Amino acid sequence: MNASGEFQAFASPRSPFGLRVCDLGWTAALGFVESLISMQGNRTTLAFLDARTALRQAADAGYRDELRRGLLLPSGGRTFGFLMKALREGPLPARYSARTFVPALLTFLEKGRRIGIAGEDIARIEALRDHFVRHAPWHDIVAIAPDREIAQPFDVVIVDAPRFAEEKRIELRLAALRTGLVVMAGSGLSGFIEGRPALAAAKAGVGSAEPSFA
C-alpha cells in the first residue's frame, strides 16, 4: 500500500483501532479513487473497515501497517455504525462495502480501463468477470487465475479472497504488479454470483442519497 498525502486531508481524525478512514460522500470518494487509479507509479490499496478487516488487522501487525498507509473506507453493519458515532461529532460518514462500491466505481469510470479480478477460485473470478463485463462493457475486464502469468499492467485489480490465507497469498503474488489501485474485496462480491440481487449505486444518484449496505 502506498500512502497518498491527499488522503490525510479527507481522513477522520478519530476512528476504531487507531485507523484513519476516508470521510467523504459517494461522489467525492469515487472521484478521489479515480484520481488514484491514474497514478500508475503510486500504487494504492483500498480496503473496507468492517468486522472482517478489523479481525485481520488485530492479528496481523503487517496488515495493520498497510491499512494505515492505504485508503480505508468505513463499512460494517449496525455495530460499526454505533462505534463510529461514538468516536466522532456530527453526522456519520457514508458507509461502503465491496458489494456497493465496486460496481459503482466501474460505472463511474467513463473511460475504458484495464480491470483485473484476482483470486484462487477460478470459477468464482470468471463468474465475477462475466458479471462485470455485462455491468460495464466498456472496460477490458480480465480474470487473473493463480497460474496466469501477469505481464501487462492493470489500472485496477480487484482481489476476491473469502479467506485470510488466500488474501495474503494473492497479495504476495501481486506485489510486483503495475497498477494504480488494488481493491481488497474479501468475500464481499459473492452476492453477484450466488443468484441474489445486488445493489449497485447508479452514477446519477451517488451524490444524492446513500444506498443500502450489505
Blockwise average pLDDT, block size 10, the chain, 214 residues: 48 61 87 87 83 81 80 74 60 80 96 95 95 96 87 92 89 85 92 60 39 32
What is the reported pLDDT for 12?
55
What is the reported pLDDT for 2?
45
Residue pLDDT, tens place only, 187-213: 889 989 875 444 444 343 444 334 332
What is the reported pLDDT for 15?
60
Q: For residue 173, which phi and psi values (nearest 5 degrees)?
A: -70, -30
What is the reported pLDDT for 213?
29
What is the reported pLDDT for 201?
40
Residue pLDDT, tens place only, 49-62: 887 788 888 888 88
What is the reported pLDDT for 144?
93
Would you give the distance in Å from CA 178 to the centre of its chain?
17
